[in-house]
Protein backbone atom coordinates (compact mmCIF):
# COMPACT_ATOMS: atom_id res chain seq x y z
CA UNK A 1 0.00 0.00 0.00
CA UNK A 2 1.38 3.40 -0.98
CA UNK A 3 1.51 6.05 1.71
CA UNK A 4 3.23 8.85 -0.20
CA UNK A 5 2.54 10.71 -3.39
CA UNK A 6 3.82 8.86 -6.46
CA UNK A 7 5.73 10.83 -9.06
CA UNK A 8 4.15 10.09 -12.43
CA UNK A 9 6.29 9.34 -15.45
CA UNK A 10 6.60 12.40 -17.69
CA UNK A 11 3.89 12.33 -20.33
CA UNK A 12 5.93 14.54 -22.61
CA UNK A 13 8.75 12.07 -23.26
CA UNK A 14 6.62 9.40 -24.89
CA UNK A 15 8.41 6.27 -26.11
CA UNK A 16 11.67 8.10 -25.44
CA UNK A 17 11.00 10.68 -28.12
CA UNK A 18 10.13 14.36 -28.09
CA UNK A 19 7.10 15.48 -30.04
CA UNK A 20 7.99 17.02 -33.40
CA UNK A 21 6.53 20.12 -34.97
CA UNK A 22 5.50 20.60 -38.60
CA UNK A 23 5.54 23.77 -40.71
CA UNK A 24 2.49 25.96 -40.37
CA UNK A 25 -0.02 25.42 -43.16
CA UNK A 26 -3.38 26.76 -44.20
CA UNK A 27 -6.35 24.46 -43.93
CA UNK A 28 -7.55 23.29 -47.34
CA UNK A 29 -10.89 24.50 -48.66
CA UNK A 30 -12.11 20.93 -49.02
CA UNK A 31 -13.05 19.60 -45.59
CA UNK A 32 -14.74 16.25 -46.18
CA UNK A 33 -17.21 15.00 -43.61
CA UNK A 34 -15.42 12.33 -41.60
CA UNK A 35 -16.92 9.02 -40.54
CA UNK A 36 -15.43 6.62 -38.06
CA UNK A 37 -16.19 4.68 -34.90
CA UNK A 38 -19.87 3.81 -35.09
CA UNK A 39 -20.90 3.50 -31.43
CA UNK A 40 -23.34 6.41 -31.54
CA UNK A 41 -21.36 8.36 -28.92
CA UNK A 42 -19.64 11.76 -28.80
CA UNK A 43 -21.75 13.18 -31.62
CA UNK A 44 -20.70 16.52 -30.16
CA UNK A 45 -17.48 17.04 -28.18
CA UNK A 46 -17.50 15.38 -24.76
CA UNK A 47 -18.00 17.70 -21.78
CA UNK A 48 -17.06 16.98 -18.19
CA UNK A 49 -14.35 17.04 -15.54
CA UNK A 50 -11.04 15.14 -15.34
CA UNK A 51 -8.80 15.06 -12.29
CA UNK A 52 -5.31 14.91 -13.77
CA UNK A 53 -3.93 18.45 -14.27
CA UNK A 54 -5.21 19.77 -10.95
CA UNK A 55 -4.84 16.73 -8.68
CA UNK A 56 -2.28 14.62 -10.59
CA UNK A 57 -1.21 11.44 -8.73
CA UNK A 58 -1.66 12.52 -5.14
CA UNK A 59 -2.32 9.32 -3.17
CA UNK A 60 -1.37 10.73 0.23
CA UNK A 61 -4.82 10.80 1.79
CA UNK A 62 -3.46 10.78 5.32
CA UNK A 63 -1.82 14.20 5.00
CA UNK A 64 -3.92 15.66 2.16
CA UNK A 65 -7.40 14.14 2.47
CA UNK A 66 -9.11 16.87 0.46
CA UNK A 67 -6.85 16.67 -2.60
CA UNK A 68 -5.83 13.02 -2.88
CA UNK A 69 -7.20 10.70 -5.55
CA UNK A 70 -10.01 9.07 -3.62
CA UNK A 71 -13.66 8.20 -3.57
CA UNK A 72 -14.29 11.29 -1.43
CA UNK A 73 -13.01 13.66 -4.13
CA UNK A 74 -15.21 12.22 -6.87
CA UNK A 75 -18.30 12.07 -4.67
CA UNK A 76 -17.86 15.74 -3.83
CA UNK A 77 -17.28 16.75 -7.47
CA UNK A 78 -20.38 14.78 -8.51
CA UNK A 79 -22.48 16.59 -5.95
CA UNK A 80 -21.26 19.99 -7.11
CA UNK A 81 -21.65 19.23 -10.82
CA UNK A 82 -25.23 18.15 -10.24
CA UNK A 83 -26.24 21.01 -7.95
CA UNK A 84 -24.26 24.03 -9.12
CA UNK A 85 -25.25 24.39 -12.75
CA UNK A 86 -22.51 22.33 -14.41
CA UNK A 87 -24.75 19.46 -15.51
CA UNK A 88 -27.37 21.92 -16.73
CA UNK A 89 -25.00 23.48 -19.28
CA UNK A 90 -23.68 20.15 -20.56
CA UNK A 91 -20.81 19.00 -18.34
CA UNK A 92 -21.77 15.36 -18.01
CA UNK A 93 -18.75 13.13 -17.39
CA UNK A 94 -16.76 12.87 -14.15
CA UNK A 95 -13.51 11.23 -15.19
CA UNK A 96 -10.97 9.43 -13.03
CA UNK A 97 -7.42 9.62 -14.41
CA UNK A 98 -4.33 7.64 -13.35
CA UNK A 99 -3.61 6.45 -9.78
CA UNK A 100 -7.02 5.06 -8.82
CA UNK A 101 -5.90 1.42 -8.94
CA UNK A 102 -4.53 -0.96 -6.38
CA UNK A 103 -0.91 -1.98 -7.12
CA UNK A 104 -1.97 -5.50 -8.18
CA UNK A 105 -4.85 -7.17 -9.99
CA UNK A 106 -7.18 -9.42 -8.02
CA UNK A 107 -7.03 -13.24 -7.98
CA UNK A 108 -9.12 -13.41 -11.17
CA UNK A 109 -6.88 -11.01 -13.06
CA UNK A 110 -9.20 -8.04 -12.80
CA UNK A 111 -8.22 -4.46 -12.08
CA UNK A 112 -9.30 -3.25 -8.68
CA UNK A 113 -9.52 0.13 -7.01
CA UNK A 114 -7.24 0.96 -4.12
CA UNK A 115 -9.26 -0.38 -1.16
CA UNK A 116 -8.31 2.39 1.26
CA UNK A 117 -8.87 5.32 -1.07
CA UNK A 118 -11.93 3.81 -2.79
CA UNK A 119 -13.51 1.69 -0.03
CA UNK A 120 -16.80 1.33 -1.88
CA UNK A 121 -15.19 0.35 -5.17
CA UNK A 122 -15.82 1.82 -8.60
CA UNK A 123 -19.22 0.18 -9.04
CA UNK A 124 -20.67 2.00 -6.04
CA UNK A 125 -19.07 5.26 -7.16
CA UNK A 126 -20.60 4.83 -10.62
CA UNK A 127 -24.01 4.20 -9.08
CA UNK A 128 -23.74 7.45 -7.12
CA UNK A 129 -22.61 9.43 -10.15
CA UNK A 130 -25.49 7.99 -12.20
CA UNK A 131 -27.94 8.88 -9.43
CA UNK A 132 -26.94 12.50 -9.98
CA UNK A 133 -27.73 12.30 -13.69
CA UNK A 134 -24.03 12.22 -14.57
CA UNK A 135 -21.67 9.68 -16.13
CA UNK A 136 -18.39 8.18 -14.91
CA UNK A 137 -15.11 7.98 -16.81
CA UNK A 138 -12.09 5.89 -15.87
CA UNK A 139 -8.44 5.54 -16.91
CA UNK A 140 -6.31 2.61 -18.07
CA UNK A 141 -3.22 2.08 -20.23
CA UNK A 142 -2.53 0.09 -23.39
CA UNK A 143 0.90 -1.01 -22.14
CA UNK A 144 2.26 -3.09 -19.29
CA UNK A 145 1.89 -0.27 -16.75
CA UNK A 146 0.09 3.06 -16.51
CA UNK A 147 2.21 6.21 -16.72
CA UNK A 148 2.35 6.27 -12.91
CA UNK A 149 3.29 2.60 -12.64
CA UNK A 150 -0.02 0.89 -11.87
CA UNK A 151 -1.15 -2.27 -13.72
CA UNK A 152 -1.53 -1.81 -17.48
CA UNK A 153 -4.04 -3.52 -19.75
CA UNK A 154 -1.63 -5.27 -22.13
CA UNK A 155 -2.86 -8.87 -22.40
CA UNK A 156 -6.04 -8.02 -20.46
CA UNK A 157 -8.05 -5.97 -22.93
CA UNK A 158 -11.20 -8.11 -22.88
CA UNK A 159 -11.08 -8.63 -19.13
CA UNK A 160 -10.63 -4.92 -18.44
CA UNK A 161 -13.32 -3.84 -20.91
CA UNK A 162 -15.81 -6.21 -19.31
CA UNK A 163 -14.78 -5.08 -15.83
CA UNK A 164 -15.43 -1.46 -16.74
CA UNK A 165 -18.80 -2.37 -18.25
CA UNK A 166 -19.76 -4.40 -15.17
CA UNK A 167 -18.92 -1.43 -12.97
CA UNK A 168 -21.12 0.90 -15.03
CA UNK A 169 -18.31 3.00 -16.52
CA UNK A 170 -19.33 5.39 -19.32
CA UNK A 171 -15.97 6.60 -20.68
CA UNK A 172 -12.49 5.13 -20.90
CA UNK A 173 -9.38 7.27 -21.22
CA UNK A 174 -6.76 4.88 -22.60
CA UNK A 175 -3.15 6.03 -22.24
CA UNK A 176 -0.07 4.65 -24.02
CA UNK A 177 2.83 4.44 -21.56
CA UNK A 178 5.06 1.36 -21.21
CA UNK A 179 4.21 -0.14 -24.59
CA UNK A 180 7.19 -1.90 -26.16
CA UNK A 181 6.47 -1.15 -29.83
CA UNK A 182 4.37 1.00 -32.14
CA UNK A 183 2.84 -2.20 -33.52
CA UNK A 184 1.67 -3.33 -30.09
CA UNK A 185 0.45 0.20 -29.38
CA UNK A 186 -1.75 0.28 -32.49
CA UNK A 187 -2.99 -3.27 -31.98
CA UNK A 188 -3.78 -2.55 -28.34
CA UNK A 189 -5.86 0.53 -29.12
CA UNK A 190 -7.81 -1.41 -31.74
CA UNK A 191 -8.32 -4.42 -29.48
CA UNK A 192 -9.61 -2.32 -26.60
CA UNK A 193 -12.04 -0.51 -28.92
CA UNK A 194 -13.44 -3.83 -30.13
CA UNK A 195 -13.52 -5.23 -26.59
CA UNK A 196 -15.51 -2.24 -25.33
CA UNK A 197 -18.04 -2.66 -28.12
CA UNK A 198 -18.39 -6.37 -27.35
CA UNK A 199 -19.51 -5.58 -23.80
CA UNK A 200 -22.71 -4.07 -25.16
CA UNK A 201 -22.34 -1.02 -22.92
CA UNK A 202 -22.07 2.49 -24.37
CA UNK A 203 -18.56 3.61 -23.40
CA UNK A 204 -16.91 6.68 -24.94
CA UNK A 205 -13.39 5.74 -26.02
CA UNK A 206 -10.76 8.44 -25.47
CA UNK A 207 -7.41 7.53 -27.03
CA UNK A 208 -3.88 8.90 -26.82
CA UNK A 209 -2.80 6.83 -29.82
CA UNK A 210 -1.54 9.63 -32.15
CA UNK A 211 0.34 11.31 -29.29
CA UNK A 212 2.66 8.32 -29.09
CA UNK A 213 2.96 7.88 -32.85
CA UNK A 214 3.85 11.47 -33.82
CA UNK A 215 7.50 11.25 -32.67
CA UNK A 216 7.99 8.28 -35.03
CA UNK A 217 5.82 9.03 -38.08
CA UNK A 218 2.62 10.79 -39.14
CA UNK A 219 -0.40 8.98 -37.64
CA UNK A 220 -3.07 7.44 -39.83
CA UNK A 221 -6.01 9.50 -38.61
CA UNK A 222 -8.50 7.71 -40.82
CA UNK A 223 -7.63 4.49 -39.01
CA UNK A 224 -7.56 6.14 -35.59
CA UNK A 225 -11.01 7.60 -36.12
CA UNK A 226 -12.36 4.14 -36.93
CA UNK A 227 -11.60 3.06 -33.37
CA UNK A 228 -11.67 6.17 -31.13
CA UNK A 229 -14.21 8.85 -30.17
CA UNK A 230 -11.51 11.42 -29.45
CA UNK A 231 -7.75 11.38 -29.44
CA UNK A 232 -4.88 13.35 -27.95
CA UNK A 233 -2.27 14.69 -30.38
CA UNK A 234 0.10 16.81 -28.34
CA UNK A 235 1.75 17.07 -24.93
CA UNK A 236 -0.19 17.29 -21.66
CA UNK A 237 -1.62 20.71 -20.89
CA UNK A 238 -0.12 22.63 -17.98
CA UNK A 239 -1.57 25.49 -15.98
CA UNK A 240 0.41 28.11 -17.90
CA UNK A 241 0.09 30.48 -20.83
CA UNK A 242 3.18 28.90 -22.42
CA UNK A 243 1.41 25.53 -22.46
CA UNK A 244 -1.73 27.01 -24.03
CA UNK A 245 0.35 28.76 -26.68
CA UNK A 246 2.32 25.62 -27.55
CA UNK A 247 -0.91 23.66 -27.92
CA UNK A 248 -2.41 26.27 -30.23
CA UNK A 249 0.81 26.54 -32.24
CA UNK A 250 0.95 22.77 -32.70
CA UNK A 251 -2.69 22.67 -33.75
CA UNK A 252 -2.34 25.44 -36.33
CA UNK A 253 0.90 23.95 -37.67
CA UNK A 254 -0.73 20.55 -38.22
CA UNK A 255 -4.28 21.56 -39.05
CA UNK A 256 -4.08 20.39 -42.66
CA UNK A 257 -3.74 16.85 -41.25
CA UNK A 258 -6.02 16.91 -38.20
CA UNK A 259 -8.91 19.25 -39.03
CA UNK A 260 -10.48 17.27 -41.91
CA UNK A 261 -10.85 14.09 -39.83
CA UNK A 262 -12.78 15.70 -36.97
CA UNK A 263 -16.54 15.46 -36.85
CA UNK A 264 -19.49 13.85 -35.08
CA UNK A 265 -18.30 10.76 -33.25
CA UNK A 266 -14.59 11.63 -33.42
CA UNK A 267 -12.71 14.73 -32.23
CA UNK A 268 -9.19 16.07 -31.84
CA UNK A 269 -8.45 16.56 -28.13
CA UNK A 270 -6.06 19.41 -27.20
CA UNK A 271 -6.37 18.33 -23.54
CA UNK A 272 -7.98 19.78 -20.43
CA UNK A 273 -9.41 23.18 -19.63
CA UNK A 274 -7.31 24.66 -16.81
CA UNK A 275 -9.61 27.62 -16.25
CA UNK A 276 -10.13 28.31 -12.55
CA UNK A 277 -6.65 27.27 -11.43
CA UNK A 278 -3.57 29.39 -10.75
CA UNK A 279 -1.49 29.94 -13.88
CA UNK A 280 -3.68 31.88 -16.32
CA UNK A 281 -4.78 35.49 -16.22
CA UNK A 282 -8.42 36.35 -16.85
CA UNK A 283 -7.65 37.16 -20.50
CA UNK A 284 -5.71 33.93 -20.98
CA UNK A 285 -8.61 31.94 -19.56
CA UNK A 286 -10.89 33.64 -22.07
CA UNK A 287 -8.46 32.67 -24.83
CA UNK A 288 -8.49 29.01 -23.83
CA UNK A 289 -12.29 28.86 -23.62
CA UNK A 290 -12.75 30.64 -26.94
CA UNK A 291 -10.20 28.58 -28.87
CA UNK A 292 -11.37 25.25 -27.42
CA UNK A 293 -14.83 26.21 -28.74
CA UNK A 294 -13.42 27.07 -32.16
CA UNK A 295 -11.45 23.79 -32.27
CA UNK A 296 -14.53 21.67 -31.41
CA UNK A 297 -12.48 20.25 -28.55
CA UNK A 298 -13.74 18.06 -25.74
CA UNK A 299 -14.40 20.37 -22.79
CA UNK A 300 -12.90 18.44 -19.89
CA UNK A 301 -12.21 20.76 -16.98
CA UNK A 302 -9.39 20.00 -14.57
CA UNK A 303 -9.86 22.29 -11.60
CA UNK A 304 -11.31 22.27 -8.11
CA UNK A 305 -15.01 22.96 -8.50
CA UNK A 306 -15.29 23.15 -4.71
CA UNK A 307 -13.19 26.32 -4.75
CA UNK A 308 -13.64 28.16 -8.02
CA UNK A 309 -14.03 31.90 -8.55
CA UNK A 310 -17.35 33.31 -9.78
CA UNK A 311 -15.55 34.69 -12.86
CA UNK A 312 -14.07 31.31 -13.84
CA UNK A 313 -17.38 29.58 -13.19
CA UNK A 314 -19.27 32.08 -15.38
CA UNK A 315 -16.76 31.63 -18.20
CA UNK A 316 -16.89 27.83 -18.08
CA UNK A 317 -20.70 27.91 -17.96
CA UNK A 318 -21.11 30.47 -20.75
CA UNK A 319 -23.98 28.98 -22.78
CA UNK A 320 -23.19 30.96 -25.94
CA UNK A 321 -19.59 29.76 -26.05
CA UNK A 322 -20.63 26.19 -25.21
CA UNK A 323 -23.15 26.37 -28.09
CA UNK A 324 -20.29 27.07 -30.49
CA UNK A 325 -18.28 24.16 -29.09
CA UNK A 326 -21.30 21.85 -29.37
CA UNK A 327 -22.48 23.10 -32.78
CA UNK A 328 -24.04 20.17 -34.62
CA UNK A 329 -22.61 20.99 -38.02
CA UNK A 330 -19.64 19.21 -36.48
CA UNK A 331 -16.83 20.97 -38.31
CA UNK A 332 -13.64 21.85 -36.44
CA UNK A 333 -12.46 25.43 -36.80
CA UNK A 334 -9.05 26.41 -38.05
CA UNK A 335 -6.30 29.02 -37.94
CA UNK A 336 -6.87 31.61 -40.67
CA UNK A 337 -3.97 34.03 -40.55
CA UNK A 338 -1.51 35.97 -38.42
CA UNK A 339 -0.55 39.60 -38.80
CA UNK A 340 0.97 42.21 -36.49
CA UNK A 341 0.99 39.66 -33.64
CA UNK A 342 -2.73 39.00 -33.96
CA UNK A 343 -4.06 35.57 -34.88
CA UNK A 344 -7.46 34.93 -36.42
CA UNK A 345 -9.32 31.62 -36.19
CA UNK A 346 -12.75 30.78 -37.57
CA UNK A 347 -15.28 27.95 -37.56
CA UNK A 348 -18.34 27.27 -39.73
CA UNK A 349 -21.57 26.67 -37.80
CA UNK A 350 -25.09 25.51 -38.55
CA UNK A 351 -27.45 27.78 -40.50
CA UNK A 352 -24.62 29.55 -42.32
CA UNK A 353 -23.33 31.11 -39.11
CA UNK A 354 -19.65 31.46 -38.27
CA UNK A 355 -17.57 31.85 -35.14
CA UNK A 356 -14.45 34.03 -35.31
CA UNK A 357 -11.75 34.38 -32.65
CA UNK A 358 -9.09 37.09 -32.73
CA UNK A 359 -6.16 36.57 -30.36
CA UNK A 360 -3.73 39.31 -29.31
CA UNK A 361 -0.45 37.42 -28.92
CA UNK A 362 1.50 40.42 -27.68
CA UNK A 363 2.65 40.05 -24.06
CA UNK A 364 3.73 43.64 -23.46
CA UNK A 365 1.87 46.93 -23.30
CA UNK A 366 -1.87 47.43 -23.09
CA UNK A 367 -4.96 46.73 -25.21
CA UNK A 368 -4.44 46.99 -28.97
CA UNK A 369 -6.88 47.71 -31.78
CA UNK A 370 -7.35 45.40 -34.73
CA UNK A 371 -9.44 46.18 -37.81
CA UNK A 372 -11.03 43.34 -39.76
CA UNK A 373 -12.24 43.41 -43.33
CA UNK A 374 -15.64 41.73 -43.15
CA UNK A 375 -15.18 40.29 -46.65
CA UNK A 376 -12.33 38.15 -45.29
CA UNK A 377 -14.53 36.31 -42.81
CA UNK A 378 -16.13 32.94 -43.37
CA UNK A 379 -14.46 32.47 -46.72
CA UNK A 380 -16.32 35.51 -47.98
CA UNK A 381 -19.71 33.96 -47.20
CA UNK A 382 -20.33 34.95 -43.60
CA UNK A 383 -21.54 38.49 -44.30
CA UNK A 384 -22.64 38.33 -47.91
CA UNK A 385 -24.46 40.66 -48.37
CA UNK A 386 -24.61 41.49 -44.65
CA UNK A 387 -24.62 39.89 -41.23
CA UNK A 388 -25.38 40.41 -37.58
CA UNK A 389 -22.18 40.31 -35.49
CA UNK A 390 -22.37 39.54 -31.78
CA UNK A 391 -19.39 39.66 -29.45
CA UNK A 392 -19.55 36.70 -27.04
CA UNK A 393 -16.24 37.16 -25.22
CA UNK A 394 -14.87 38.90 -23.25
CA UNK A 395 -18.43 40.19 -22.77
CA UNK A 396 -21.63 39.62 -24.68
CA UNK A 397 -22.92 42.52 -26.75
CA UNK A 398 -24.50 42.94 -30.15
CA UNK A 399 -22.22 44.92 -32.43
CA UNK A 400 -24.85 45.39 -35.13
CA UNK A 401 -25.42 44.71 -38.82
CA UNK A 402 -22.33 44.83 -41.02
CA UNK A 403 -22.24 45.04 -44.80
CA UNK A 404 -20.00 42.72 -46.80
CA UNK A 405 -17.67 45.60 -47.72
CA UNK A 406 -17.44 47.14 -44.26
CA UNK A 407 -14.79 46.84 -41.56
CA UNK A 408 -14.96 45.92 -37.90
CA UNK A 409 -12.62 47.41 -35.31
CA UNK A 410 -11.92 45.55 -32.08
CA UNK A 411 -9.73 46.18 -29.05
CA UNK A 412 -8.06 43.20 -27.39
CA UNK A 413 -6.01 42.89 -24.21
CA UNK A 414 -2.55 41.27 -24.30
CA UNK A 415 -2.89 37.45 -24.55
CA UNK A 416 -6.65 37.97 -24.69
CA UNK A 417 -9.25 37.03 -27.30
CA UNK A 418 -12.40 38.49 -28.78
CA UNK A 419 -14.89 35.80 -29.79
CA UNK A 420 -17.53 36.76 -32.35
CA UNK A 421 -20.59 35.05 -33.77
CA UNK A 422 -21.63 36.04 -37.31
CA UNK A 423 -25.13 35.32 -38.60
CA UNK A 424 -26.16 36.19 -42.13
CA UNK A 425 -29.33 38.23 -42.42
CA UNK A 426 -30.20 36.93 -45.90
CA UNK A 427 -29.18 33.31 -46.04
CA UNK A 428 -31.92 32.31 -48.48
CA UNK A 429 -29.69 32.89 -51.52
CA UNK A 430 -27.20 30.29 -50.30
CA UNK A 431 -28.49 26.74 -49.88
CA UNK A 432 -27.00 24.74 -47.04
CA UNK A 433 -25.87 22.03 -49.44
CA UNK A 434 -23.91 24.46 -51.59
CA UNK A 435 -22.08 25.88 -48.59
CA UNK A 436 -21.40 22.39 -47.24
CA UNK A 437 -19.83 21.43 -50.56
CA UNK A 438 -17.76 24.59 -50.58
CA UNK A 439 -16.46 23.84 -47.08
Cα 183 to chain centroid distance, Å, stands at: 26
> How far is it, in rounded angstroms, from Cα 255 to Cα 337?
13
In a 3-state reduction of DSSP, which class is residue 302? Answer: coil
Instruction: Report which secondary-structure segment, H or E, holds 78.
Output: helix 71-83
Catalytic (active site) residue 269: no
- Catalytic residue, from 98, 175, 239, 304: name it: 175
CA atoms within 13 A on the CB side of 3: 1
Neighbours of 381 (CB within 10 A): 20
Instruction: Identify the CA nearest to 438 among candidates 348, 328, 335, 325.
Output: 348
Active-site residue identified among 236, 269, 304, 318: 236
Contacts of 439 (CB under 8 A, 6+ apart): 29, 31, 331, 348, 379
Q: What is the per-residue DSSP string for 166-201?
A: HHT--EEEEE-TT-S-HHHHHHHHHHHHHHHHHTTS
The C-alpha atoms of residue 19 and residue 176 are separated, in whole angstroms, by: 14
236 flagged as catalytic: yes
Report which DSSP code applies to 313: H
Q: Just list the catalytic residues.
A: 175, 236
Amino acid sequence: MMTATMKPVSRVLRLGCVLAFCFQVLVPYGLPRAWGLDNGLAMTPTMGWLHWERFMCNVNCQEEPDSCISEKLFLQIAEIMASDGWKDVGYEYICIDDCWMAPERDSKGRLQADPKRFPGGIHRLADYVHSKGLKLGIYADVGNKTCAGFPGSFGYYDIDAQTFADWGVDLLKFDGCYCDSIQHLAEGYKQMSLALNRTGRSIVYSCEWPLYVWPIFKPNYTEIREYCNHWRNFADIYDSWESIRKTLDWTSSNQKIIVPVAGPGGWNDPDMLVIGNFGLSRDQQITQMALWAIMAAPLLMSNDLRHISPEAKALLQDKDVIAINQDRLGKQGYWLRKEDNFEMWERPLLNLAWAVAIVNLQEIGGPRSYTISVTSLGRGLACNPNCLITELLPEKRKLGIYEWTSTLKTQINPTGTVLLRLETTSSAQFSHSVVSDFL
